[in-house]
């Protein structure tokens, strides 16, 4: 499958979606359906990392994904980091952010997964300090 989604090394606070090779809008929608199911069970802060390191060019009609992405935005997502997000993809995402800021929100770019994980940890630590419900559990607040 050209799009995969999993928690990073068993951690429950960094969700990694990886785009590999060529993918279609249908592949994307299938991933969205999986994400929707998975995120409905998440009730703690997490950072989403989207890795485009081994990604081919985006498919045609990429701008049509905006409405569908809106359906799976989680209130528990406290950060969004793109890895190796090309210039064209950044332009597209900035456009979507202007159209629907509450869905797409603030995002970051990292040149590598290592840097993305470091950024995610910093985001989680900053949110942990801000949340009075923090019980010291690896970024998962209850």
pLDDT at residue 59, as a whole number: 74
- Residue 72 placed within a domain: yes
pTM: 0.79
Of the candidates 67, 72, 109, 117, the one whose C-alpha atom is nearest the C-alpha of residue 91 is: 109
Of the candidates 99, 24, 84, the one whose C-alpha atom is nearest the C-alpha of residue 50 is: 84
134: CB partners within 8 A, 6+ apart: 128, 141
- Residue 139 placed within a domain: no
**102 in the Ramachandran plot: left (φ > 0), alpha (ψ -120 to 50) or beta?**
alpha
- Residue 56 placed within a domain: yes
pLDDT tens digits, residue range 101-126? 766 667 888 999 999 999 999 999 99
- Residue 116 placed within a domain: yes
In the chain, how many domains are there? Answer: 1
- Residue 87 placed within a domain: yes
pLDDT at residue 64, as a whole number: 66
Phi, psi of 85 (to 5 degrees): -85, 110
Which position has the token pair 């970024």? 139
How far apart are alpha carbons 31 and 22 in whole angstroms? 14
Q: How many residues does the chain have?
A: 142
CATH of the domain at 126: 3.30.750.24
- Residue 142 placed within a domain: no
- Residue 41 placed within a domain: yes
How far apart are alpha carbons 98 and 2 in whole angstroms? 28
Average pLDDT over residues 121-134: 76
Full domain range(s) for residue 39: 3-130
């Amino acid at each position: 499958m050209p799009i995969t989604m999993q928690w990073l090394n068993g951690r429950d606070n960094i969700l990694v979606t990886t785009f590999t090779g060529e993918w279609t809008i249908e592949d994307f929608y299938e991933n969205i359906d999986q994400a929707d199911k998975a995120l409905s069970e998440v009730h703690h802060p997490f950072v989403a990392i989207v890795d485009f390191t081994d990604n081919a060019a985006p498919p045609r009609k990429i701008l049509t994904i905006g409405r569908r992405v809106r359906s799976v935005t989680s209130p528990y997502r406290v950060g969004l980091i793109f890895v190796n997000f090309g210039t064209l993809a950044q332009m597209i995402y900035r456009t979507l952010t202007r159209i629907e800021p509450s869905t797409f929100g603030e995002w970051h770019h990292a040149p590598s997964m290592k840097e993305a994980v470091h950024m995610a940890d910093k985001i989680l630590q900053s949110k942990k300090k801000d949340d009075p419900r923090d019980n010291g559990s690896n970024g998962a607040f209850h």
